[in-house]
Amino acid sequence: MSAQHPLQFVPAAEFKQRSVDATSDAHLRQSFRGAMDFLMAKRAAQFPDDASLQRQRAIAEAIRQYSLARLPDLLEQLERNLTAKGVQVHWAENAEEANAIIVGIAQRHSAKLMVKGKSMVSEETELNHAMEAAGIAALESDMGEYIVQLDGEKPSHIIMPAIHKTKQQIARLFAEKVPGVSYTESVDELIGIGRAVLREKFMHADIGLSGVNFAVAETGTLCLVENEGNGRMCTTVPDVHVAITGIEKVVEKLEHVPPLYGLLTRSATGQAITTYFNMIGGPRKGGADGKGAELDGPKEVHLVLLDNGRTQAYADEQMRATLQCIRCGACMNHCPVYTRIGGHAYGTTYPGPIGEIISPHMMGLAATHALPTASSLCGACGEVCPVKIPIPDLLIRLRGEATHEARPGHAPLVGQGAARSALMDAVWAGWAALYTRPALYRAFGWLATRFRFLTPPTQSGWTVSRTPLKPAARTLREQLAERRRKTH
């Protein structure tokens, strides 16, 4: 893996160039189009009855809003109940703190190898780099994650990390990077190669790391959704299991999980249910006097609860909805922009529509202000979101926050006003001056039509792929006036 991680810090200006490069990459365009079409069709097949889907969405939204409304209490309840079951709970305000906690746990155990189940939060903290810096190997065991790690990349999709790669690219990568492997395009053989490597590592790993899909406060249960069984291996085979999650993933009751789980898998991969659903309730029990001691499972379980900007979103009544997300990825699957540019162009851990509204809280608006503008506001994301996050409204809100000072009574966001430009302020002030003065606007229309021959041949971004916009010979209002003159 490269020592310099190219995607760690992403100045906003680079998003635009990357998106331009991506749209002109025919191969990338074709592969994302095909993959997203496949995922959209799979999801649609799971929701044949729209009325039923809308009922389920309303329930899921209510559960997430209910949970968020009680978040501080639920987190404390979760900590109490997990602690009682022997789980050590850690709080991390940012990525560095989270990584330091996990490196510390590893060092206490003199760990040399960590195996990882799929965890986007650990991607968010770039944990692998922190582990590497501490001299501890961290190996991804989800097949997609394993592939992108082998190639020194980040995931391009939160559910399907290697979706940008073709079978041939993976075949070449394995032949090149996995010792003793020759080139094969057989998917079964490729999976077999990965499995053989990983099985060996599971046996010898000192620590297993996983994410969390739902943390149940009332029972102190960590729920983990997965298909490959690697999550179960990571959380049961090594002596130490560390789970990491964002603070928003908590729900109050066990009965809150099934409605969310059912929508998560259907929305994400079009599965009615995943192959594995793990409910983790703590380390193996010792038993009094060594009697009745459990013989398997980790001896130590830790949970790291990460903030990393989430409380900024939480503090705002409207932007709190961002935290309703259950990370299904449906918004990216249905996003016409994501489909055109792929996940890497965003330069963030979470790409696509959800990434556009959550990354500003994690990374600040100075680095991310271009992201909320990369949307036609078509609404496809909001339409499919299983927990009804009003993504287009939040994009508009962040566009405003990026170009303005904080509103009265609102705390400034990190990077508040980072995209503020005197030129754009003047453009919009001029626009408002014109459109609030009907007489001036009519004069403008009169002039624009009379001098339409002066229409500039290049019009900012418009004419890159379009002919110039040219006013009509006469405005509608003039044509109507003309018609009135003729008939009277």
Partner 1 sequence: MHREITRDPRPKDVYFFATCLVDLFCPEAGMDAIELLEREGIAVHFPENQTCCGQPAYTSGYADEARAVAQVQMALFPEDWPIVVPSGSCAGMMRHHYHKLFADDASLKAKADALAERVFELSEFLLEVLAVQWKESSTGRRPTTVALHTSCSARREMGTHVHARALLDSLPGVTVVTQSHESECCGFGGTFSLKHPAISGAMAGDKADALKESGAETFLSADCGCLLNINHTLQKRKDAFQGKHLATFLRERTEPAGTGDEA
Contact residues for 400 (Cβ-Cβ < 8 A; gap 6+)? none
Nearest-5° Cα angle at 264, 261 to 269: 130
Q: Is 364 in the site for partner 1 (CB under 8 A)?
A: no
Beta-strand relationship, 113-116 and 137-140: parallel
CB of 379 to partner 1, least distance (A): 4
482 is written with which tokens? 């003309």
Amino acid symbol at 373: T
Cα–Cα dist 137/121, whole Å: 18
- Phi, psi angles (nearest 5°) of residue 465: -130, 15
Q: Is 436 in the site for partner 1 (CB under 8 A)?
A: yes
Based on CB atoms, which residue is closest to partner 1, 19 or 221? Answer: 19
Q: Is 371 in the site for partner 1 (CB under 8 A)?
A: no
Cα–Cα dist 361/178, whole Å: 38
Asked if 456 contacts 468 with a C-beta cutoff of 8 angstroms, the reply is yes
Cα–Cα dist 383/279, whole Å: 30
CB of 404 to partner 1, least distance (A): 7
CB of 348 to partner 1, least distance (A): 16
Based on CB atoms, which residue is closest to partner 1, 204 or 477? Answer: 477
Based on CB atoms, which residue is closest to partner 1, 286 or 336? Answer: 336
Stretch near partner 1 under the rule CB under 8 A, chosen from 117-125, 156-164, 323-331, 432-440: 432-440
108 is written with which tokens? 């206490």
CB of 139 to partner 1, least distance (A): 36
Q: Is 476 in the site for partner 1 (CB under 8 A)?
A: yes
Q: Is 9 in the site for partner 1 (CB under 8 A)?
A: no
Binding-site size for partner 1 (CB under 8 A) equals 63
CB of 124 to partner 1, least distance (A): 25
Stretch near partner 1 under the rule CB under 8 A, chosen from 126-134, 198-206, 213-221, 436-444: 436-444
Asked if 113 contacts 141 with a C-beta cutoff of 8 angstroms, the reply is no
Based on CB atoms, which residue is closest to partner 1, 113 or 378? Answer: 378
H helices within 155-226, ranges in order? 167-177, 187-204
From the list 375, 387, 394, 416, which residue makes contact with partner 1 (rule: CB under 8 A)? Answer: 375
DSSP string, 289-352: GGTT---SS-SEEEEEEE-TTHHHHHTSTTGGGGGG-----HHHHT-HHHHHHTTGGG-SSS-H
From the list 86, 262, 297, 445, which residue makes contact with partner 1 (rule: CB under 8 A)? Answer: 445
Q: Is 172 in the site for partner 1 (CB under 8 A)?
A: no
Q: Is 320 in the site for partner 1 (CB under 8 A)?
A: no
Q: Is 88 in the site for partner 1 (CB under 8 A)?
A: no
Amino acid symbol at 481: A
Based on CB atoms, which residue is closest to partner 1, 149 or 403? Answer: 403
From the list 258, 431, 443, 450, which residue makes contact with partner 1 (rule: CB under 8 A)? Answer: 431
CB of 449 to partner 1, least distance (A): 8
Q: Is 307 in the site for partner 1 (CB under 8 A)?
A: no
From the list 426, 432, 443, 454, which residue makes contact with partner 1 (rule: CB under 8 A)? Answer: 432
How many angstroms separate the Cα of 311 from the Cα of each of 8, 349, 366? 22, 18, 18
How many angstroms separate the Cα of 291 from the Cα of each of 86, 120, 227, 294, 295? 18, 39, 35, 9, 11
CB of 46 to partner 1, least distance (A): 18
Q: Is 58 in the site for partner 1 (CB under 8 A)?
A: no
From the list 5, 7, 14, 29, which residue makes contact with partner 1 (rule: CB under 8 A)? Answer: 29
Amino acid symbol at 402: A
Asked if 315 contacts 307 with a C-beta cutoff of 8 angstroms, the reply is no
Cα–Cα dist 325/264, whole Å: 10
Based on CB atoms, which residue is closest to partner 1, 277 or 441? Answer: 441
Based on CB atoms, which residue is closest to partner 1, 134 or 448? Answer: 448
Asked if 256 contacts 197 with a C-beta cutoff of 8 angstroms, the reply is no
Binding mask 377-416 for partner 1 (x = CB under 8 A): xxxx-xx---------x--xxxxxxxxx------------
Beta-strand relationship, 221-226 and 250-251: unpaired
H helices within 277-390, ranges in order? 310-314, 330-333, 336-341, 352-363, 365-368, 380-384
Q: Is 23 in the site for partner 1 (CB under 8 A)?
A: yes
From the list 137, 201, 373, 414, which residue makes contact with partner 1 (rule: CB under 8 A)? Answer: 373
Residues in contact with partner 1 by the rule CB under 8 A: 16, 19-20, 23-24, 29, 336-337, 340-341, 373-380, 382-383, 393, 396-404, 428-429, 431-432, 434-436, 438, 441-442, 445, 448-449, 460-472, 474-477, 479-480, 483
